[in-house]
Structure 1
């Protein structure tokens, strides 16, 4: 009998005070594109597919009319472009797509990224990749998964991740907390990996994260051995992501009152950050092409630890952010 997503009957809580950037991304889908054509039209119709019935999810449709971000006048020059996205379990043929998405996961560090990708793809019960429907082998738009730090600690790639994080925390106030999670509590910590192309429609985010956390819950009940079941009973999630921080020289005079101190590369990271038990940022050397609007910002890394009991709040707030409620 296929697994079914859990039903939630509670009404979403009122949204938190999200940054203007996060709300703009959530509402208008800045930079959204289909696989074959960049969207510059003022209207868009998309169907977001949760995992296929074979994997226990029902197909549902999300329709969103997205208004042009740069609106000078409301013309009748509208164009409908449909892109069908599907959620799939990871498989070996996704190797190159996942590796490309995670190319700068540890900044410019040379490490066993291939081994890391193998761990992600080898864990098929928890984790999701997003592709175009009916074009399963032609491109990968997102990867979301979570790996138990203790379960995989003997793997070279995970040891290198731990070493990277421990080196970072030496100069941060969170060093004690980080060391505890990476050593004594490693078996209770899930490294949450979430990477995607920059223009993936934000309407996909709630079902994508719902799929991940539902699968974690199911794994606790359904995995064939007690050891495997316990490996998904997380107490903490740890995230390694990127943010844009306003340059110190521009924090005083000469800056607009609308300028955010921090801009989150992924809007959901703002929610994770607010819910985190602790966090710290760090300078990175990765060179990325940034929009003109970000010329006064520095790209930085961000490490966060979130208690697993905060996941329901995260899911509700993500729905609020994306739906604009």
Structure 2
């Protein structure tokens, strides 16, 4: 029987919001171990995480692999254990599962992207080794309107569960952790160009690199503790119209990219502590 995680919604402090400025909606967040009923919800969140390149991978196999280790990782739900997860976090051992087709495809993809991204050279070197070192691949995603405050508890639980697994001689003694995430950059609207509005000027003039923005704000803190990090171009790119479809009441469109963050295993604890301080700063 799957146990409920020992954490309640009132253990998470929501900060930075004045309740007088918004309409309040009471939501009870509950943390659970991954369970078979989460299969379709996990697939949907994995597709969201890998964005344009989700079609490259066998999402069913990845979801099954996550569910095969039910005592490692968490899901977050609001309507009890039978409901779909609104967020999840887990870790997969790239060395232990190296012969599984889904992990083979994913490792090849990550190596190719790291090799073509100068800032990710240390990751490319690691993934070039035979066999691949015991790298813990962290996969995590949440619905877009989920508060960032739910994230630190998931990482804290994961650290505890990894420590318990190592004591039980299970294969979770990692040399590194690799986090897969997403970033985006703002792009000049195709619609504005077609309308030829002379008063609109390009904000990224002179060939300057576009500014990176984080879908997951905690990633900005995690990168400060990383061996290396960087955004990667998706293999399957969308046309300009797709960027405009994501304007969401703003002047510019957005172009999504993948993001990879590599940690030495010993630095994860400090990274998580930094994330906690960023998300829930002391008053």
Q: TM-score range by the shorter chain?
A: 0.7 to 0.9
Assess, with a 3 A threshold, how the Cα gap between structure 1 residues 63 and 282 changes in structure 2: closer, same or farther. Answer: closer
- 1:124–1:187 Cα change, 3 Å: farther
Paired with 1:211 and 1:245, the residues of 2 have a C-alpha distance of: 32
2:140 alignment partner, SS class: strand
Give how far 1:179 is off: 4.0
Q: 1:242 to 1:178 in 2, by over 3 A?
A: same
Q: Hey, what does 1:57 align to over in structure 2?
A: 6
Deviations 1:172-198 (A, max 9, x none): 233464242363463420000011101
Instruction: Supply the distance in 1 between the matched residues of 2:31 and 2:75 (Cα, whole angstroms).
Output: 6
Distance 1:105 1:296, change over 3 A: closer
- The alignment partner of 1:83 has SS state of coil
SS of 1:102's equivalent? helix
1:305 paired with 2:262, answer: yes
More helix by share: 2
Q: TM-score, normalising length from structure 2?
A: 0.79
Structure 1's 170 and 322: CA in aligned 2 closer, same or farther, altered over 3 A? closer
Say which SS state the counterpart of residue 180 (structure 1) adopts: helix
CA RMSD in angstroms, aligned pairs only: 2.8
**Equivalent of 2:116, from 155, 168, 171?**
171
Work out the CA distance in 1 between the residues paired with 2:115 and 2:24.
Answer: 52
Match of 1:41 in 2: none
1:268 matched to 2:221? The reply is no
1:220 matched to 2:166: yes
Q: Counterpart in 1 of 2:18?
A: 67
5+ residue gaps, structure 2, are 189-201
Q: 1:4 matched to which residue of 2?
A: none
1:296 deviation in Å?
Answer: 5.5
Q: Distance in 2 between matches of 1:279 and 1:81?
A: 36
Count of matched residue pairs: 254
3-state DSSP class of the match of 1:212? helix
Q: TM-score, normalized by length of structure 1?
A: 0.69
* C-alpha displacement of 1:100: 0.5
Instruction: Determine helix, strand or coil for the equivalent of 2:47.
Output: coil
Where does residue 242 of structure 1 map in the other structure?
182
* Residue in structure 2 matching 1:90, options 6, 20, 34: 34
Question: Structure 1 pair 56/89, CA: closer, same or farther in 2 (3 Å)?
Answer: closer
- The corresponding residue for 1:204 is 150
Matched with 1:103 is 47
Go from structure 1 to structure 2 and tell me whether the alpha carbon gap of 1:280 and 1:59 turns closer, same or farther (over 3 Å shift). closer
- Number of the residue aligned with 2:172: 232
Distance 2:182 2:93 in 1: 21
Structure 1, gaps ≥5 residues long: 1-51, 69-73
Shift of 1:201: 1.8
What is the DSSP-based 3-state SS (H/G/I as helix, E as strand, rest coil) of the residue aligned with 2:56?
A: coil
Equivalents in 2 of 1:213, 1:146: separation in Å?
Answer: 10
Q: Distance in 2 between matches of 1:301 and 1:190?
A: 18
- Counterpart of 2:198 in structure 1 is none
Out of 91, 108, 114, the residue aligned to residue 146 of structure 1 is: 91
**Which residue pairs with 1:183 in the alignment?**
129
